[in-house]
Amino acid sequence: MITAPKIEYLQLAPLLLVFGAAVLGVLVEAFTPRYLRRAIQIPVTLLSLAGAFALTIVQTLKGVPTEPSAMGAVAVDGPTLFIWGTILVLAFVCVLLVNDEEHFVAAASAVPGSAEEERAFIEGNVHTEVYPLALFAIGGMLLFPASNDLLIMFVALEVMSLPLYLLCGLARRRRLLSQEAAVKYFLLGAFSSAFFLYGTALLYGFAGSVDLAKIAAALGSVAGQNGLLYLGAALVGVGLLFKIGAAPFQAWKPDVYQGAPTPVTALMAAGTLVAAFGAVLRVFWVALGNLIWSWEPVMWAVAILTMVVGAILAITQTDIKRMLAYSSVAHAGFLLVGVIAIGDAKQNSLALGAILFYLAVYGVTTIGAFAVVTMVRDPGGEAWHLSRWAGLGKRSPKLAGLFAFFLLAFAGIPLTSGFFGKYAVFQAAVADHATPLVVVGVISSAIAAFFYVRVIVLMFFSDPAADGPTVVVPSWGTAAVVGFSALATVVLGVFPQPVLDLAKSAAGSLFVG
């Protein structure tokens, strides 16, 4: 006899709402006339994200669940709820940016420059499929850090990635770059998820289960299968480190960030990073926590390499989006420092709280920076080359000032949110006696500060070119995004305590199996 599985619908409600809205969006694409679609898709998307956020808050107020949901498949614990809240806010903001129809292609299947594309352009077609695709990706992002077994994690990884591969190829201008970014992201992403899956298979062979808690238990009880364990852990690690863009798996990041439509880049840079770090923490802390003596040295090397490679390669960039991509690589390295700072329960709560706070503030600032990038335009599209940004401070001081502020927050200057994020992570690492790692982190931050400041100097102390880029008047969505990001960066830089406390209390209730 088969007993029906027990599903805690209320705990999973945010996930179900987002996926439900995504399915509804697909039906809207199928059954409503073209001219109505946009008017339906935008409210459906925004309302579902807001509703999911409200449901997450309700769940938090009702008390954090003490047991995994859905027969042990999904762990809705404190960190998950915090990450859900963060991702939903970031996603909402990104959708406001996506809403600016300027960024997406009129007919993705048409050959760039063909008559077919021209016709779609003139008819004013827009791909409203962007909204359900984004919702599926966001749903995957919510499930990825909440998954309590490796199979759910793999499925979530794909649900998150597949729509993003498509979204990358939908830029309105510079179609060739956009398509190339999609192909590169797709092939490398599929390659890395194959590694993740083989690692999962080996860990299943080791433990006889893909449940994270059962793998953790098998570490102590299964003997003589170390080959399977180490190889499996390494392969799963490769798959996850690829998604966060840690060196030596960072090569896709600049290419994809540059080619993708900028709102999608913002969604990837903020949402995917948060989700992937949640998954990294779950695998390495919950399933492989007792294996720390084996993975810690490797993670040290990866963290150092990621910070240094990100910071140094960012200096050599001449393209603003590539520079922000390498900056994102460096920030992934800083976050890995926090992942290494695992220890006893008190230390874990300190480190996990720091990582959660860092993820939230970094995500908000990144979206703000990319939103500014969408507003500085050349006739052929956004002005990406750094030389085009020279003297922007003299032509439109407000926008350049905001961008400079976001860059200072990336650099971690006091009175911006980035400072407290870095401080919290490095403090946790020092408490775990990982001081050499913190020294490397601080040096990389200094190198990184150099190229952030270089852009600021370029904007404010160079003469503007005669045919410089124009700063477009932002749509209400873009203006709201920039305003929100700037406000959040200031507020979290001056009064970080409430969010720090929230992150710390969320960190206290991680399910450890």
Partner 1 sequence: MTTHYLVLSALLFAIGGIGVLVRRNAIVVFMCVELMLNACNLAFVTFARQHGNIEGQVIAFFVMIVAAAEVVVGLAIIVTIFRTRRSASVDDASLLKY
Taking the least distance from each CB to partner 1, the nearer of 166 and 329 is 166
Beta-bridge partners for 74: 69, 147
Q: Give me the least distance between CB of 185 and partner 1, in Å please.
A: 9
Asked if residue 374 lies in contact with residue 437, where contact means CB atoms within 8 angstroms, the answer is no
By CB under 8 A, is residue 158 in contact with partner 1? yes
CA-to-CA distance for 356 and 302, rounded, in angstroms?
Answer: 20
Give the shortest CB-176-to-partner 1 separation in angstroms: 6
Which residues 6+ apart lie within 8 Å of 474 measured at CB? Answer: 375, 482
Does the protein bind partner 1 through residue 378 (CB under 8 A)?
A: no
Binding span for partner 1 by CB under 8 A among 190-198, 298-306, 326-334, 409-417:
190-198
Of 375, 354, 294, the C-alpha closest to 102 is: 375
Contact between 155 and partner 1 per CB under 8 A? yes
**Residue 258 contacts partner 1 per CB under 8 A:** yes
- Between the alpha carbon of residue 297 and those of residues 173, 222, 291, 341, the distances in Å are 44, 23, 11, 12
Q: Which residue, among 343, 235, 229, has the nearest Cα to 294 in the 3D structure?
A: 229
Contact with partner 1 (CB under 8 A): which of 3, 66, 109, 221?
Answer: 109
DSSP 280-306: HHIIIIIISGGGHHHHHHHHHHHHHHH
Site string for partner 1, 406-445 (x = CB under 8 A): ----------------------------------------
Q: Minimum distance between the CB of residue 197 and partner 1, rounded to whole angstroms?
A: 4
* Region binding partner 1 by CB under 8 A among candidate stretches 31-39, 82-90, 252-260, 282-290: 252-260
- Cα separation, 487 vs 406, in Å, equals 11
One-letter amino acid of 387: S
In the bound complex, what is the minimum distance in angstroms from residue 325's beta carbon to partner 1? 11
Q: Give whichever of 241 and 356 is closer to partner 1, judged by the CB atom.
A: 241
CA pair distance 510, 286, nearest whole angstrom: 9
Q: How many residues bind partner 1 (CB under 8 A)?
A: 44
Which one of 47-55, 198-206, 270-278, 434-442 is the stretch in contact with partner 1 (CB under 8 A)? 198-206
Q: Is 292 exposed, middle or buried (0-12, 13-18, 19+ CB in 10 A)?
A: middle
Position 197 contacts partner 1 (CB under 8 A): yes
181 binds partner 1 (CB under 8 A): yes
CB of 233 to partner 1, least distance (A): 15
* Interacting span for partner 1 (CB under 8 A) from 315-323, 417-425, 438-446, 465-473: 315-323
CB 356 within 8 A of CB 263: no
248 binds partner 1 (CB under 8 A): no
Nearer to partner 1, 114 or 435 (CB): 114
Query: Which of 172, 175, 422, 504 touches partner 1 (CB under 8 A)?
Result: 175
Among 124, 208, 297, 498, interactor with partner 1 by CB under 8 A? 208
**What is the C-alpha separation between 507 and 358, in angstroms, rounded?**
13
The Cα-based distances of 450 to 111, 445, 446, 479 in angstroms read: 41, 9, 6, 28
186 lies in the binding site for partner 1 (CB under 8 A): yes
Question: Which secondary structure element, helix H or strand E, spans residue 233, and what is its range?
Answer: helix 226-244
**Does residue 310 interact with partner 1 by CB under 8 A?**
no
Please tell me whether residue 259 binds partner 1 under the rule CB under 8 A: yes
The Cα–Cα gap between 355 and 358 comes to: 5
Q: How many residues does the chain have?
A: 513
Considering only residues 485 through 504, tell me which ones interact with partner 1, judged by CB under 8 A.
none
Distance, in Å, from the CA atom of 309 to the CA atom of 470, rounded to the nearest integer, reads 33
Q: Give the H/E segment covering residue 381.
A: strand 381-382
Considering the complex, what minimum distance in angstroms separates the CB of residue 195 from partner 1? 8
* Residue labelled with tokens 């709402």: 17
Q: Which tokens sit at 390?
A: 């020279």
Q: Does residue 162 touch partner 1 according to CB under 8 A?
A: yes
Which C-beta is closer to partner 1: that of 252 or that of 285?
Answer: 252
Name the β-bridge partners of 374.
Answer: none
Is residue 177 a contact residue for partner 1 (CB under 8 A)?
Answer: yes
8 A C-beta contact, residue 355 and residue 339 = yes
* Interface residue with partner 1, options 146, 182, 264, 299 (CB under 8 A): 182
Residues 6+ apart with CB under 8 A from 5: 70, 71
| Least spacing, CB of residue 173 vs partner 1, in Å | 13
Q: Of these, 48, 99, 147, 200, which contacts partner 1 (CB under 8 A)? A: 200
Gap between the Cα atoms of 128 and 26, Å rounded:
10
Question: Of 175 and 331, which CB lies nearer to partner 1 in the complex structure?
Answer: 175
Site residues (CB under 8 A) for partner 1? 108-109, 111-112, 151, 154-155, 158, 162, 165-166, 169, 175-177, 179-184, 186-187, 190-191, 194-195, 197-198, 200-202, 204-205, 208-210, 254-255, 258-259, 316-317, 322
